Structure 1
Amino acid sequence: MPIRAVVYTSEAAAGIAASSPGQAGRRLCEIVDDAARFNRDAGVTGILLFDGARFVQYMEGPDDGLQVAYSRVLGASSHSGLIELQRGRVGQRRLPFWPMRWLPVEPSELRRVASADWTGFVQREGTGASTSATGMELLHALAEPHAASPSKESP
C-alpha cells in the first residue's frame, strides 16, 4: 500500500501559544493525545514541531487515513494561517515512531525546517544538519534523537 505524506506550517491559536520555546500548555497536550488516538486507528504517523507560536507538522500514512486525519487538521481551531509545504507519495514511512508527537524547537529551527526544500520529500543519507539539507532531512535530524524514547505522545 503506497504511503502518502503532507507537511504544513501554521500559527498557534492564542490558547495554544506559549511564552517560550519548549513550553506547551495542557491544551496542546490534549490536542496531540487526541490526534495520536485517532491516527493510531487510521494508520497515520507524524510529528508536530512547536516553537511556542508556530507549528510545522508532518503526517504520513495510507491515502484514506491521511485524508481523514488531514481534514481534521484543516478544521481545527487550534491554529490558523495554514500553509501546505508539500503533499505527495513517499514510498515508505520516514518517521514511523509515533502516531503523533510534539517536539519543542527553537524559532530558528522551525523557520529553517519550514523554509527548506520539501520537493518530493527527498532524504539523502548523512546530510541532516548541513546547510543544504532538505526539509525531510532537517525534520528527521530533529526527530531521530527522540525515536528511542517511550512512545508517549508529548514530551
Structure 2
Amino acid sequence: MYHLSLKQNLSPVDSLEKIVLRANASDPESVHYLSLALQAISGQFPKKNYAKQPLAGFKLRKNQLIGVQVTLRGHKMMSFIKNLVFIVLPKFVDFNGVQTKKYDREGNLHFGLTQFLLWPQCEVSYEVFRKPSGFNISIISKGDIKKKKLISSYLGLPTTED
C-alpha cells in the first residue's frame, strides 16, 4: 500500500515565506509620505526603522528615523504579488525583467522599484506621492536554492540574464 505525501503535491508558491518592503528616506520629513505609500500598497501599517549608530558622513544621529518597512505573509503577500506582476510591472516602459544577479546566495530575490505612482492604490492620490521615491522588495522563500530560483518563473515574474 502506498501513501502519498502532501509535500510532493504542493505548488512552489507554498514555499514562499514572506515579502519585505523597505523604503528609506533622505530626510526625516519625507518618512511620513513613505509610510502612507507603503500602507496604501500593502494594506498594513509600516514599522519605523531608526538609526542604530551615528554616522557623521551621512549627518545621521543615533535613534533618528530613517525609513519604514512592511512584512507581508499569507493572503496579503499573494495579493501583492498579483498586483506587482499583472498591473505594476507592465506599466514600466523599459522593464525587461528582474536580473538573475539580484538573487542572493540563499536564493532569495531582492530588487527595487523607482516609483510609487505606478501602483493603482497610489494613482488616486497623485499630490501626496508625486515626489519620486522608490522602495526595495525582498521575496524570501524556503527550501532548496535551485527550487527558489524557479519560484519567480512560476509566479510570472520575468527574469533576464543580465
TM-score by length of 1: 0.30
Larger radius of gyration: 2
The structure with more helix, counted as a fraction of residues: 2
TM-score by length of 2: 0.29
